[in-house]
Amino acid sequence: MENAEFARLLAETADLMEIAAEDGFRIRSYRNAAAAIEGYPERVADILANPARSVTEIPGVGKGLSFVLQEIRERGSFERRDEMLARYPPTALEMLKIQGLGPKSIALIIEHYRVSTIDGLEKLAREQKLRELPRMGAKLEEKVLRSIAGYRRSAGRFLLSFATEAADEFKAYLAESPGVEQVESAGSVRRGKETVGDVDLLVCGGDPQEVLSRFTSHPRVTEVLAKGGNKASAKIGLEGLQVDVRVLPRESYGAAMQYFTGSKVHNVALRTRALKFGLTLNEYGLSKVESGERVAGETEEEIYRALGLDWTPPELRENHGEIEAAEKHALPRLVELADIRGDLHMHTRETDGRATLLEMAETARLRGYEYIAVTDHSKALAMANGLDEARVVAFAKQVRALNAEGKAGIRVFSGLECDIRRDGTMDIEWDALAELDLVIASVHSHMNLESAEMTDRLLRALECPHVKVLGHPTGRILLHREGYAYDFDKVAADAARRGVALEINASPERLDVHAALIRAAKAKGCKFTVATDAHHPKHLANMPFGVKMARRGWLEAGDVLNTLPSGRFLPAFRNS
Ligand code: DGT
Ligand code: CA
Ligand code: CA
Ligand code: ZN
């Protein structure tokens, strides 16, 4: 069981208790523990399993909660949660995922209308019945309807990082089957989509039945959904992620890779094109319509070539112009992980990170980077012990000394993730910011402003001459929260004009900003950074997810400023 799962159960129960208007102290303690566990660098399940350790070492976890966590580990729930679920149907929990509705509103809706499902809620909003309740109005109804649509889109989906980890585990496992030559991810994992419905694995070589039996007998498999001649599907883990495995002969492996990588809309466009050439394309290969003669199938390259196209990177296969570009030999040369020379967003023990600057620097050095920017929080994030002006200035000085002595083994840029206040001003005085190499400006509060006010707030933040990067530009949390509302194009245009880079935040639950907005911003002339927002040395390994996003946004190395060598890096920001 992963920490996120422990955290989810605690937070959920806290929410249900809030619907029930229970004691605020207990609710807060569950929430605090959930937040602490979520960000804890070690697995809670491992600590619980180790008799020499105690989970009370996690800040915010006391004796009472340690029993709760033990109970969760043993049976996947705990007494208080069961009690709450007996009082409210589990669907009430789903209602909590609808943005704009707090527990008090939900309690009111359940009490007044006896409605506790998403469908019921949608009906109430459509029939304009929410506005009959206190403190609810037409605006809320609209927001609820939009939020329900978003919720339906994300239900049953998983973070790319989670799916990738599972895919890698099963790839390694299946590769050990006798005779297996190759195992690869297809589907949305291969395309680098930020959320994934299911994992698609393609196996080449080996005896299909033997490979599939090995798959379905994996200890993490909880339910076998289907098992046929060359395909099996199963659910894995508590989370119920589905994995599809197909075993294919060498001669059609490329065709199957192409077909099962998708996306569906890309494939449809490709098949239409094939027909114009008198060819049919399916998962077995490309063949002539008339004679049935096969012209390609063993590799993807030969299929694209036979259709008069350059091989198209999976991240681009969304039928958003990639086929036209491939025809004209005009596909971008997408940025690669190896192009990235440094990570530009990370936190240390000074604020809410788990390691020291030197520990972060060492891990970055081992990853092969030339430089890092250390960007702790500013004082508005009091809970994270954010830096005030005096600490900012002292930090800048410390980093200058560190670089002069060469003690970090890597070039360190002094940075800050400075909060953007509600009115768009910086949380730190300008003369202190002036001491730093790289100021990232980010929104962490007042995320529900009206679009016009949020737009002005961000535009004002860009006016500060020391701001070089706009951090996690939309503020979305995948499967959890949509980004804040504002005029993205306007802000992107201003960022481009001023030479402020947009961050592509590689943290798996953010992956912010996403493909469509990256392309829109690039069209306005924006530059980008790709950075992990690491709070622990191991988070530096999330860079590939950020690079995937950049690639999905058609970015080349020249669009990403942390591909520049350290000597040319700083002057690439800020023209005004
Ligand atoms: P997901 O799993 O929802 O994150 O997205 P995908 O793209 O992995 O979708 P999935 O797993 O349903 O199917 C994998 C690929 O297989 C998909 O991208 C395209 C191909 N595919 C599956 N079913 C169809 C179909 O009915 N028609 C076409 N043209 N392609 C299909
Ligand atoms: Ca899939
Ligand atoms: Ca699938
Ligand atoms: Zn942040």
- Which ligand sits nearest to residue 195's alpha carbon? 1
Domain finish residue from 125, 154, 183 = 154
Whether 396 and 509 share a structural domain: yes
Render 394-418 in DSSP notation, one character per residue: HHHHHHHHHHHHTTTSSEEEEEEEE
Question: CATH code at 98?
Answer: 1.10.150.110
Whether 131 and 228 share a structural domain: no
Q: How many domains does the chain have?
A: 4
Residue 226 lies in a domain: yes
CA distance 157 to 173: 24
Please count the helices (runs of H) and the strands (runs of E) in the chain: 24, 17
Question: CATH code at 508?
Answer: 3.20.20.140
Reduce the DSSP state of residue 438 to 3 states and report it.
Answer: strand
Render 329-371 in DSSP notation, one character per residue: T----B--GGG--EE--B--TTTT-SS-HHHHHHHHHHTT-SE
For ligand 1, say whether the CB of 262 is within 6 Å of any of its atoms.
yes
Question: CATH code at 265?
Answer: 3.30.210.10
- Which ligand sits nearest to residue 196's alpha carbon? 1
Q: Which of 184, 191, 246, 260 to mutate to test ligand 1, by most ligand atoms within 8 A of the CB atom?
A: 260
- Which ligand sits nearest to residue 233's alpha carbon? 3
CA distance 183 to 368: 28
Structure tokens at 208: 């299909």
Shortest-distance Cα residue to atom 8 of ligand 1? 187
Residue ranges making up the domain that contains 95: 3-154
For ligand 1, say whether the CB of 188 is within 6 Å of any of its atoms.
yes
Whether 189 and 317 share a structural domain: no
For ligand 1, say whether the CB of 233 is within 6 Å of any of its atoms.
no
Structure tokens at 91: 């669907």
Residue 170 Cα to ligand 2 middle (Å): 15
Whether 439 and 365 share a structural domain: yes
Tell the burial category of 178 from Cβ atoms under 10 Å away from its Cβ (0-12, 13-18, 19+).
exposed
Could you tell me which residues come within 8 angstroms of residue 6 by beta carbon, excluding any fewer than 6 positions away?
34, 37, 44, 45, 69, 72
Whether 95 and 188 share a structural domain: no
Residue 167 lies in a domain: yes
Whether 358 and 310 share a structural domain: no
For ligand 1, say whether the CB of 71 is within 6 Å of any of its atoms.
no
CA distance 172 to 185: 11
For ligand 1, say whether the CB of 488 is within 6 Å of any of its atoms.
no
Alpha carbon distances (Å) from 570 to 82, 412, 479, 485: 55, 12, 35, 31
CA distance 406 to 408: 6
Structure tokens at 520: 């829109």
Answer yes or no: are the C-beta atoms of 422 and 443 closer than 8 Å.
no
In 70-196, where do the E strands start and end?
Answer: 158-159, 180-185, 195-196
Residue 201 Cα to ligand 1 middle (Å): 12
Q: How many CB atoms neighbour CB 463 within 10 A? A: 14
Answer yes or no: are the C-beta atoms of 80 and 12 closer than 8 Å.
no
Could you tell me which residues come within 8 angstroms of residue 393 by beta carbon, excluding any fewer than 6 positions away?
432, 435
Q: What is the pLDDT of residue 93?
A: 79
Could you tell me which residues come within 8 angstroms of residue 480 by beta carbon, excluding any fewer than 6 positions away?
97, 509
Residue 263 Cα to ligand 1 middle (Å): 6
Whether 14 and 121 share a structural domain: yes
- Contacts of range 59-67, beta carbons closer than 8 Å, 24 or more positions apart: 60/29, 60/32, 60/33, 60/35, 60/36, 61/33, 61/36, 61/37, 62/29, 64/29, 65/10, 65/29, 65/30, 65/33
For ligand 1, say whether the CB of 154 is within 6 Å of any of its atoms.
no
Shortest-distance Cα residue to atom 18 of ligand 1? 262
Residue 371 lies in a domain: yes
Domain finish residue from 139, 154, 169 = 154
Whether 226 and 259 share a structural domain: no
- pLDDT digit string, tens, across residues 298-345: 999 999 999 999 999 999 999 999 999 999 999 999 999 999 999 999
Strands 221-227 and 279-282: unpaired
Task: Return the closest-CA partner of residue 469 out of 421, 432, 501, 426.
Answer: 501
Q: Identity (one letter) of the amino acid at 558? A: G
Structure tokens at 187: 């589907």
Residue 425 lies in a domain: yes
Whether 207 and 299 share a structural domain: no
CA distance 338 to 547: 10
- Which ligand sits nearest to residue 245's alpha carbon? 3
Tell the burial category of 206 from Cβ atoms under 10 Å away from its Cβ (0-12, 13-18, 19+).
buried
Q: Name residues of the chain where pLDDT drops below 70.
A: 576
Whether 537 and 564 share a structural domain: yes
Domain finish residue from 275, 299, 327 = 327
Residue 332 lies in a domain: no
Residue 135's φ and ψ, nearest 5 degrees, are: 60, 20
Q: What is the pLDDT of residue 480?
A: 81
Answer yes or no: are the C-beta atoms of 52 and 28 closer than 8 Å.
no
Q: What is the pLDDT of residue 576?
A: 67
Answer yes or no: are the C-beta atoms of 243 and 236 closer than 8 Å.
yes
For ligand 1, say whether the CB of 268 is within 6 Å of any of its atoms.
yes
Q: Which of 184, 188, 300 to mutate to test ligand 1, by most ligand atoms within 8 A of the CB atom?
A: 188
Reduce the DSSP state of residue 509 to 3 states and report it.
Answer: coil
Whether 356 and 491 share a structural domain: yes
Answer yes or no: are the C-beta atoms of 374 and 412 closer than 8 Å.
yes
Residue 71 lies in a domain: yes
- Which ligand sits nearest to residue 187's alpha carbon? 1
Shortest-distance Cα residue to atom 1 of ligand 1? 197
For ligand 1, say whether the CB of 314 is within 6 Å of any of its atoms.
no
Could you tell me which residues come within 8 angstroms of residue 299 by beta carbon, excluding any fewer than 6 positions away?
253, 254
Q: What is the pLDDT of residue 155?
A: 81
Task: Return the closest-CA partner of residue 315 out of 299, 335, 289, 341.
Answer: 335
Q: What is the pLDDT of residue 482?
A: 86
Does the pTM of the predicted model rise above 0.85? no
Whether 142 and 105 share a structural domain: yes
Residue 291 lies in a domain: yes
